[in-house]
């Protein structure tokens, strides 16, 4: 990534933020991700949680029933977040350091999501 690049998260983040309830079944998560062409949803638990395609695939691979298994059972909790004014090179470094592909964007409240796909599109 160009170190002179002054692009901020707000310039590339995905909005509006897509959310889902913690008690929703995995089938609903999978359907929404497919229909909306996204790979993560913020979980509306009030505690910094997301559910990703990897969470869903892992649960299905483990034999969990997508109708009976809820988001709460498979979500990733205690997720790192970023602010809209953060520089993209800092976001890329955070994703590498934490081994994640999605970071919710917070500005007093959740306002968007930045993903490794957003970074790749920004660089192309």
Domains of the chain and any CATH numbers: 9-123 (3.10.580.10)
Reported confidence tier of residue 81, pLDDT bands at 50, 70, 90: very high
CB 92 within 8 A of CB 119: yes
- Check residue 3 and report its DSSP letter: T
Q: Give the list of residues 6+ apart from residue 11 with CB closer than 8 angstroms, or none.
A: 88, 122
H/E stretch holding 109 reads strand 109-115
Average pLDDT score over residue span 82-111:
92
The average confidence (pLDDT) of the chain is: 90
Looking at residue 104, its pLDDT comes to: 93
Q: How confident is the model at residue 16 (pLDDT cuts 50, 70, 90)?
A: confident
Q: What is the per-residue pLDDT across 23-43, written as a single tens digit (0 to 9) for each? A: 999 999 999 999 999 999 999
Question: Which pLDDT belongs to residue 3?
Answer: 47
Secondary structure (DSSP) of 56-98: HHHHHHTT--TTT-BHHHH-B-S---B-TTSBHHHHHHHHHHH
| Residue 50 pLDDT exceeds 80 | yes
Contact present, 113 and 42 (Cβ < 8 Å): yes
Task: Tell me 42's DSSP state.
Answer: E
């Amino acid at each position: 990534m160009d170190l002179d690049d002054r692009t901020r998260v707000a310039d590339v983040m995905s909005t509006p933020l897509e959310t889902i309830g913690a008690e929703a079944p995995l089938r609903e998560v999978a359907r929404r991700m497919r229909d909306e062409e996204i790979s993560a949803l913020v979980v509306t638990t009030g505690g910094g949680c997301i559910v990703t395609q990897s969470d869903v695939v892992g649960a299905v691979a483990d034999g969990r029933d997508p109708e009976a298994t809820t988001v709460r059972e498979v979500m990733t909790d205690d997720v790192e977040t970023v602010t809209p004014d953060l520089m993209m090179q800092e976001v890329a470094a955070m994703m590498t350091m934490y081994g994640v592909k999605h970071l919710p964007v917070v500005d007093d409240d959740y306002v968007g999501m930045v993903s490794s796909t957003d970074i790749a599109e920004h660089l192309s």
